[in-house]
Amino acid sequence: MRITEKIVVLATLFSAVVSAHGAEETVTVLNLPDPLTIIYYTLWISGLAIGTSLVFKLNSVEKKISFILIAVPVAFSTFYLAADTVYLNLISETGGPVHWHADYEVWVCGTKLDLTDPMGFDNKVGSPVFHEHNDDRMHAEGVLVKISDANLESYFDVIGGGLRKDAMSYPAEGGKVSVTNNDLCNGKPAALQVFVYKMQGKKYHQEKIGDFPHYVLSPYVQVPPGDCIIIEFNEEKNKTDKICETYKVAIEKGDLIGG
């Protein structure tokens, strides 16, 4: 059996893996594929070559072809990943990777919603850069081309929901929850509102955010001083009585002082 025939046999098997994996969405700059896509197809091509060499007995020419099919994709992906990292750092508004966190809670008509649990080995819901780890915490970790990429609208998009000033959809445990302004809560018209606990020194204060879809996380690793964000669908009000557990514990310990 010639090497081309051998590759066809294994390619058929690998194609089943590709089909099961599904198409990768590419978030690109200059319409170039993202690094995860490059890594995926490098593993696919190299794995095909390695599988061929393991399953079939290759002659010297076939071994050289197999080696090329392993070495070239690996070398290309290594160069691509290095160049992509340098390029993203150069064009990033933050000048490189960030590590920001904000705790948050979503309440609808007095009931707290729990985000759907992570699936698979990643242990996160969202994207590599913006996600949640089943901990009621927004994680912005990586290179942000634009600072606005770490806003609430972007977060809801990457977790599979949606957020506008007049509507929200949230992938909660038990099914997606969707609300729109003027829907009823306990028989009364309700509205989507966002309140943020922020820090200034040891003092904290609560703000009601107007243009909340475009609100960007404060640039802190720890919470507090990172934000506590309360997203609430209920009757219109100026303040909320809801507060994140991390802020509540810090207040009880005396680490935070009301502003």
Q: Are 136 and 104 in contact (CB under 8 A)?
A: yes
d(CA 236, CA 145): 35
- The residues that bridge with 198 in the sheet, in sequence order, are 205
- The residues that bridge with 30 in the sheet, in sequence order, are none
pLDDT of residue 6: 47
d(CA 99, CA 82): 20
User: Please, which pLDDT band fits residue 23 given cuts at 50, 70 and 90?
Assistant: very low
pLDDT tens readout for residues 56-111? 776 777 777 877 777 877 777 776 665 655 555 555 677 788 999 999 999 999 99
Neighbours of 65 (CB within 10 A): 17
Residue 10, pLDDT above cutoff 70? no
Q: How many residues does the chain have?
A: 259
Q: What is the largest CA-CA distance in the chain?
A: 79
Q: Are 222 and 249 in contact (CB under 8 A)?
A: no
Ramachandran angles phi, psi of 171, nearest 5°: -75, 80
3-state helix, strand, coil in the chain (%, to 5): 35, 30, 35
Q: Are 198 and 214 in contact (CB under 8 A)?
A: no
Structure tokens belonging to residue 22: 């599904």
Residues 6 or more apart in contact with residue 62 via CB below 8 angstroms: 3, 6
Q: Is the pTM of this model over 0.85?
A: no
